[in-house]
Amino acid sequence: MSGDSQRIRAVLGEQIRCAEAMLDALTRESEALAAGNHDSLVQATDAKAALVTALERLEAERRDLAAPDAAGETDWERLRELIARCKAQNQKNGTLLKARADNVRTALQALRGAEPELYGATGRAPARTDFRTLGTA
């Protein structure tokens, strides 16, 4: 095995470890979102950011070396599978985050005394200007 081939395999191995850690961080993020645990969410988000940086650096290094040889194909396929799983989990987390944001928006509207938005004849929700600010009755 040539030096480049060994280095490619080493970089792929490190990418796999980072992708596995990313999947773990995404899982922790999902659990924190579901539980509404802000501290855990911040920790998971910080871990994700560090892992994205590491993965980007490793990918640039791998591309500079060359394409994986036949010996590295198994690692390459494992990395691709992990990245696909990370992408799917990240999309699920985004959907959960949007749902939580919608819940907060609805709660704020209820606290402000807003009625549910109804669509008028134009197909648009009517403009409302009579919202109460929080803390007033």
The answer for residues whose C-beta is within 8 angstroms of residue 125's C-beta and 6 or more apart is 117, 118, 119
Domain that holds residue 62: 3-112
Q: How far apart are CA 82 and CA 76, in angstroms?
A: 10
Question: Is 88 contained in some domain?
Answer: yes
Q: What is the pLDDT of residue 133?
A: 58
Mean of pLDDT values over 130-134? 57
- Asked if pLDDT for residue 131 goes beyond 60, the answer is no
Question: Is 119 contained in some domain?
Answer: no
Average model confidence (pLDDT) across the chain = 85
Q: What is the pLDDT of residue 6?
A: 87
Q: How far apart are CA 55 and CA 16, in angstroms?
A: 9
Question: Is 20 contained in some domain?
Answer: yes
Question: Is 53 contained in some domain?
Answer: yes
Question: Is 48 contained in some domain?
Answer: yes
- Asked if pLDDT for residue 96 goes beyond 60, the answer is yes
Tens of pLDDT, residues 28-87: 999 999 998 999 999 999 999 999 999 999 999 988 887 766 667 889 899 999 999 999
CATH number for the domain spanning 60: value is 1.20.58
Question: Is 132 contained in some domain?
Answer: no
Q: What's this model's pTM, rounded to 2 decimal places?
A: 0.72
Question: Is 126 contained in some domain?
Answer: no
pLDDT, greater one: 85 or 101: 85
Q: How far apart are CA 59 and CA 67, in angstroms?
A: 11
Mean of pLDDT values over 122-127? 65
Q: How far apart are CA 75 and CA 86, in angstroms?
A: 16
Q: What is the pLDDT of residue 117?
A: 60
Two tokens at 63?
């591309």
Q: How many domains are there within the chain?
A: 1
CB atoms within 10 A of CB 44: 22
118: exposed, middle or buried (Cβ count in 10 Å: 0-12, 13-18, 19+) = exposed
Question: Is 129 contained in some domain?
Answer: no
